């Protein structure tokens, strides 16, 4: 490992996923693929790239992972395809397990499959593996409030999936420097609890924790150093994390589906664009679309006006679902609010806007029409009032 520390590539992972409980343990290659898949979603939500996002909807994300871009050092020579098959099969069985017991002894449970479908068909696309992720998972993947940074080179250097998982967990707590964790809680995060593996501390420590910490510490100059102790008779393990390379703890700004679309620029953000494209992709299966570019302009007009009307209550997914239903049955022949775009010389007035908004909340649309001209109503984002028919 001769790389200069400044040039080492990092991967960002949401702490919620670093500290998640899993039904099964992970191999090294499985966890590496998980982190690379996560990176595709992260770049999408950070507006860096949508190149690997095929579809994006309220149900799931379908993305591609380039086979050629994977780290070849993680695969056995001349056996990459077989190793990839084994790792993908393992990923398809991974799930997050949430099990609770109430006061009456009744069990509650929620098992969420992380990757319900993973496809690689070299006869159709030799370059990419396709991965489908449900919304319950991808909505939790985005690093909004807290995250940890993982050294990509270390992920390839570590000898097992257990070491990688422990490295993620330690990195997630590194900002605290010291922390305690119950023995079984740690087994759950590693996937051993539900498998029934390493139930005794001495075996867990000898086979998993001690060798993993030794391996992590052997590369301490690149990241962190770990110390731990467990007192006899106590369930908790006390950890101390020493950081040898500072981590950027600044908040990551991610895109939001409900983000306002500027009425002048009329350019949705990256995830809004992909969502609209996906809706129309599926609508084409039910209805012919002759001019998709014009239809997108209609949709943007409706979204802008819905945002102005509903403000904080605006729900992008709800609005798009309403539009998609009309497109599929062929009733979306003209945009509800495209004709109300501001094209007059009269401009937005914040005082008039507040007055109209108050009357609108009281349902006094006739009063609004009497007190203000149609141009004033349009310029202040209430053009929908001029037409009594409401598609929403």
Which pLDDT band holds residue 377 (cuts at 50, 70, 90)?
Answer: confident
Q: Which of 20-29, 63-72, 145-154, 329-338 has the highest mean pLDDT?
A: 63-72
Q: What residues pair up with 118 in beta bridges, in sequence order?
A: 131
- The answer on pLDDT for 392 being more than 70 is no
- What does the radius of gyration of the chain's CA atoms come to, in whole angstroms? 26
Q: What residues pair up with 129 in beta bridges, in sequence order?
A: 65
Chain mean position to CA 392:
28
Q: Choose the weakest-confidence range: 33-47, 122-136, 357-371.
A: 357-371
Which pLDDT band holds residue 390 (cuts at 50, 70, 90)?
Answer: very low
Rounded mean pLDDT, 151-165: 91
Three-state SS for 132? strand
CA distances from 76 to 68, 79, 84, 94 (A): 15, 5, 10, 23
Tell me the per-residue pLDDT of 182-223, one tens digit each, with 9 for 90 and over.
999 999 999 898 889 999 999 999 999 999 999 999 999 999
Report residue 243: phi and psi, to 5°.
-95, 125
Which pLDDT band holds residue 68 (cuts at 50, 70, 90)?
Answer: very high
Predicted local confidence at residue 341, as pLDDT: 40
Is the separation of the CB atoms in 99 and 63 below 8 Å? no
- The answer on pLDDT for 340 being more than 80 is no
Indicate the average pLDDT of the chain: 86
Q: Choose the weakest-confidence range: 164-178, 285-299, 335-349.
A: 335-349
Q: What residues pair up with 119 in beta bridges, in sequence order?
A: 130
* Residues whose CB is less than 8 angstroms from the CB of residue 27 and which lie 6 or more positions away in sequence, other chains included: 87, 90, 160, 161
pTM: 0.72
């Amino acid at each position: 490992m001769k790389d200069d520390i400044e040039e080492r590539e990092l991967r960002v992972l949401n702490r919620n996923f670093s500290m998640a409980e899993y039904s099964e343990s992970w191999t090294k290659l499985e966890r590496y693929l998980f982190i690379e898949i996560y990176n595709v979603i992260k770049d999408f939500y950070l507006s860096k790239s949508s190149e690997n996002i095929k579809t994006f909807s309220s149900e799931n994300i379908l993305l591609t992972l380039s086979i050629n871009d994977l780290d070849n050092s993680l695969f056995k020579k001349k056996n990459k395809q077989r190793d990839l098959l084994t790792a993908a099969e393992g990923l398809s069985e991974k799930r997050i397990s949430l099990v609770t017991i109430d006061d009456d002894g009744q069990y509650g449970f929620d098992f969420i499959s992380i990757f319900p479908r993973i496809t690689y068909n070299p006869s159709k696309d030799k370059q990419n593996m396709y991965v489908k992720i449900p919304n319950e998972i991808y909505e939790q993947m985005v690093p909004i409030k807290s995250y940890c940074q993982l050294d990509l080179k270390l992920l390839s250097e570590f000898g097992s999936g257990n070491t990688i998982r422990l490295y993620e967990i330690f990195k997630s707590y590194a900002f605290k420097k010291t922390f305690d964790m119950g023995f079984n809680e740690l087994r759950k995060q590693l996937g051993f609890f539900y498998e029934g593996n390493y139930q005794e501390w001495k075996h867990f420590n000898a086979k998993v924790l001690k060798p993993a910490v030794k391996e992590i510490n052997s590369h301490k100059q690149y990241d962190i150093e770990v110390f731990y102790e467990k007192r006899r008779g106590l369930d908790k393990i006390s950890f101390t994390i020493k950081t040898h390379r500072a981590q950027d703890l600044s908040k990551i700004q991610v895109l939001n589906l409900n983000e306002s679309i500027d009425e002048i620029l009329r350019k949705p953000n990256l995830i809004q664009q992909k969502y609209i494209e996906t809706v129309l992709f599926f609508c084409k299966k039910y209805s012919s679309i002759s001019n998709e570019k014009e239809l997108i302009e209609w949709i943007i007009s409706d979204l802008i006006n819905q945002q102005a009307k509903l403000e904080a209550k605006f729900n992008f997914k709800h609005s798009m679902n309403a539009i998609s239903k009309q497109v599929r049955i062929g009733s979306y022949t003209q945009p509800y609010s495209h004709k109300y775009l501001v094209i007059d010389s009269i401009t937005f007035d914040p005082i008039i806007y507040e007055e109209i908004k108050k009357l609108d909340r009281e349902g006094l649309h006739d009063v609004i029409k009497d007190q203000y001209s149609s141009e004033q109503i349009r310029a202040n984002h209430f053009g929908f009032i001029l037409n009594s028919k409401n598609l929403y």
